[in-house]
Structure 1
């Protein structure tokens, strides 16, 4: 899917999660948390494509990743004691910086589009979530966004390697379309219509 398609899909999943939050382990209170939740979902909807330099997030992620690597290298060369002290005392901090670096340097549409990746993100969030004091609803939002991205690419002809790295086979939906095709645009239009309806329902729920 194109970025616009992923954003539409992510918005649909995010608003649906709010609409049916009473059926999910998600507690979102007030307009501010609702807006922040949707923003995180939209970021998650683009996150798996950060492994592509041409993606919307990837074009910013690569310079950041390179900068982090350079800073870590400088710290290791000039202050090795502080470097190892940092690892011993703040292992979570090291993971929080090095994992994204590995993430953006991976091959496009491989492990970031797999079930294994979803599991790794869950583990990663459980590790750094409490240290960074990330609210549970935002962690769920990120997972929902990532799930929507993988599902969106599952609908395309190329499919997604759901079992990567155990299997490189790409899985796709029975009825699929080419990325950027008229069929995808039709799907996006349909998602926009669904989003409008769901947003109306969410608006009524928040007001009431």
Structure 2
């Protein structure tokens, strides 16, 4: 998934969770919430030097990719469990939104053809429920649908 699709689908998912559940992202710090959500939505790709966040990481992406590879530790089930525990443990707008965005990123990549290594570091085998290929028309449709959903709730 491209960075802009990760951001738009994470925002749409956060709006849905906020609207249809008792968990709320609407708090006293909407700027921190929005920043955390968008940063979390792209952060797992810190393991790819050519990604949007990787190009802005001042060399960190190089080292993360060298040590863990792309779609390694930052895309693993272990990272998802840590993000979920942090989401449930902390009561801070930025941290909650970051963790939710992080989890939304992993969910998005789980449905890509490339998948994610859910059981890393035990195995590098990727799990996938293939719905789309990165950059495909289906991804563009997901992007457009998430924008429409966001617009529906905001306007």
- TM-aligned CA deviation for residue 111 of structure 1: 1.4
**Match among 166, 171, 192 for residue 122 of structure 2:** 166
Rate the CA distance shift 1:195–1:123 in 2: closer, same or farther, 3 A: closer
Correspondence for 1:148:
104
**2:81 is aligned with 1:119:** yes
Counterpart-to-counterpart distance in 2, 1:18 and 1:39: 16
Secondary structure of the residue aligned to 1:23 is coil
Rate the CA distance shift 1:48–1:27 in 2: closer, same or farther, 3 A: closer
Give the number of aligned pairs. 154
8 Å Cα contact 2:5/2:139 also seen in 1: yes
Higher relative contact order, chain-length normalized (CA < 8 Å, sep 6+)? 1
Structure 2: which 5+ runs fail to align?
A: none
Superposed, which structure 2 residues align to 1:76-91 within 5 Å? none
Rate the CA distance shift 1:187–1:108 in 2: closer, same or farther, 3 A: same
1 or 2, which has the higher helix percentage?
1
TM-score w.r.t. length of structure 2: 0.83
Correspondence for 1:72:
none
Correspondence for 2:147:
192
Correspondence for 1:58:
54
TM-score w.r.t. length of structure 1: 0.64
Q: Based on CA coordinates, which of the two structures has the bigger radius of gyration?
A: 1
